[in-house]
Structure 1
Amino acid sequence: MNVLLENEPGDTGERKGEAMKAVIGISANHNAAESLYCLKEAYVVSVREGGGVPLILPALDDVALVDEYLDICDAFIFSGGGDIDPFYWGEVPETGLGEINPLRDSFELKLARRLLLQNIPVLGICRGCQLLSVASGGKLVQDLATGMSHEQNAPRYYPFHDILVYKETLLARIMDNHEARVNSFHHQAVREAGVEMRVTFPLHI
C-alpha cells in the first residue's frame, strides 16, 4: 500500500510540487482509571511501513477537536478496544457486556459520523469496524460468548478459521484470492450492518 499524496497546483509551502506523505490518524485506547491513552505499536508500524505518517488521536470531551483532527489528517484508523455501549443502537445492557468507555464511545462516534458524511477514507479494525457500523445506524451482538464460541484456543498469531470474501468488493480486489484463513478475538460483532454499509464477508461459526 502506497500512501502518498500529490500537491495540487495551488498548494503553498516548501513541499509544493513534491509527493507528500499522508497523515493517518489512529484512535487511541483510553484507560480512565489510570488516566492513560495507549495504542499497540503494530498500528503505528504498519502505517509507517505503508509510507504514511502515523498520528495517535486521543479522545477528549471536546467537540472542536473533531474538526482539528479532520484538518490535520488525510485518512483515519479506528483501533480495537473495549465494548461499545448498546445505548447507541437503542438497547439496554445484556449479561456478558464487557467494560465500556463512555468518553471514547461518544468522541469516536462523533468523529466517525463526520468521516462517513464527508466520505473521508477510514479503516476500522476490530472495535473500530463495529464502531463504524454503529455510527451509520447498525446494531451489534453485545456478547458473542453467550451465543457462540469465538475466542480461539490458539496463539494470537495463528490463523484459526476460514473466510470467503465476496467478489467485487474492495477487499477482494486487494487480496490475491477470495479465500483466507484468519484469527479472531472479538467480543462483540456486527448483527445488522449500518446504512450504506456493504458486508465484505459473512462469518458462520
Structure 2
Amino acid sequence: MTTYLDQAHSGIWDVRASFLPAAYLSGVSLVGGIAMLLPPQPADPGAIEQVLHRLDALVITGGKDIDPARYGQHPHPATDDPGRDRDTWEFALLDGALKRGLPVLGICRGAQVLNVAFGGTLHQHLPDLIGHEGHRPGNAVYATLRVRTVPGTRLAALIGESAQVQCYHHQAIAQLGEGLVVSAWDADGVVEAIELPGDQFVLAVQWHPEESLEDARLFAAVVDAARRYAGQRMVT
C-alpha cells in the first residue's frame, strides 16, 4: 500500500513523515491480507523491481492531487501543490505492476493515477463542472453517494448494480485513459470507477472503501487476486 509523505504531528514532533490512515490497513487485514507500506522514495528501476518482486498486489491509496503537468494541464487555483516525489514513485510502481501482471487496486487518488498512466486527463475542480461541493463537503467529512455500476464489468460482478459509498474528492476523471473502461458512475455523471478489461485484476474506485468496512468486498477481491497471483508465481 502506497503512503503519504507530508508534514505530520506526533506528540512534540512536527516533522515530514510517511504515513497512512489505519483504516486502509484494517481493510486489508480484515479479509486476511498482510499490508506492507510503500513510502515515497527514489524510483530507481532496480529498487522498483526489488519491491514488486516481494509483493502479491499493489494498492495505490488516496492523497493529494497529481501534478497536472503529467496530463498536459496548468494547475487550477484549487489544485494541491504537487507532491512530485510521490507521483514519481507511484507511477513507477504502477508501470512495473502492470508489466508483471500484479493485481492493482486504486483508491481515490489511485483511480486518478491509473487513468493518467494510460494517457487520460482529470477535471481539476469538480465544482466548476457540476456546480456544487457534494463530493467533498470539507472538514474531513465524507459524502455518502450512490454509484451505479456498468453491467458486464468486474466491479459490477463484485458489488452488484449499485452501492452507497463514501467520497471525498474535488477532482475526477475527464478523458478516459486508452484501454480502460468506466465501471461506475454517480448521479452527477461523474466517473466513480474504472478498470482494465481482461484477466489481470486492475480496478480503481474514486470513493473510499476503507471508510465503510462493513462492506469489505473490494479489499477481499484484491486479496483474493493476490492469493491467485502468489499461487501462480509459486508454480512458475
Q: TM-score, normalised by structure 2?
A: 0.70
Is contact 2:59–2:107 with CA below 8 Å preserved after alignment?
yes
Give 3-state SS (helix, strand or coil) of 1:202's partner.
strand
Q: CA 1:60–1:160 in structure 2 vs 1: closer, same or farther (change >3 Å)?
A: same
Give 3-state SS (helix, strand or coil) of 1:115's partner.
helix
The structure number with the bigger radius of gyration is 1
Give the partner amino acid of 2:27.
Answer: S
C-alpha deviations, 1:2-41, integer Å up to 9, x for none? xxxxxxxxxxxxxxxxxxxxxxxx0011116832001011
Give the partner amino acid of 1:41.
Answer: A
1:92 aligns with 2:74: yes
Equivalent residue for 1:202? Answer: 185
1:76 positional shift: 0.7
1:27 aligns with 2:2: yes
Give 3-state SS (helix, strand or coil) of 1:132's partner.
helix
Percent identity, aligned pairs only, is 31
- Residue segments in structure 2 that go unaligned for 5+ positions in a row: 9-14, 189-236
What RMSD, in angstroms, separates the aligned Cα atoms of the two structures?
Answer: 2.1
Q: CA 1:117–1:194 in structure 2 vs 1: closer, same or farther (change >3 Å)?
A: farther
Equivalent residue for 1:164? Answer: 148
In structure 1, what is the Cα distance between the partners aligned to 2:137 and 2:79? 19
Q: CA 1:154–1:170 in structure 2 vs 1: closer, same or farther (change >3 Å)?
A: farther
Equivalent residue for 1:115? Answer: 97
Is contact 2:145–2:186 with CA below 8 Å preserved after alignment?
no
In structure 1, what is the Cα distance between the partners aligned to 2:40 and 2:98? 18
1:100 positional shift: 2.0
C-alpha deviations, 1:134-172, integer Å up to 9, x for none? 111111111223323222479846x62221111111111
Determine which of 123, 136, 161 is the counterpart of 1:151: 136
Q: How many residues are paired up?
A: 178
In structure 2, what is the Cα distance between the partners aligned to 1:143 and 1:43? 25
Alignment of 1:51-200 (within 5 A): 51-63=32-44, 64-148=46-130, 149=132, 150-152=135-137, 156=141, 160-175=144-159, 177-200=160-183
Give 3-state SS (helix, strand or coil) of 2:74's partner.
coil
Give 3-state SS (helix, strand or coil) of 1:53's partner.
coil
- Residue segments in structure 1 that go unaligned for 5+ positions in a row: 1-25
Give the partner amino acid of 2:149.
Answer: V
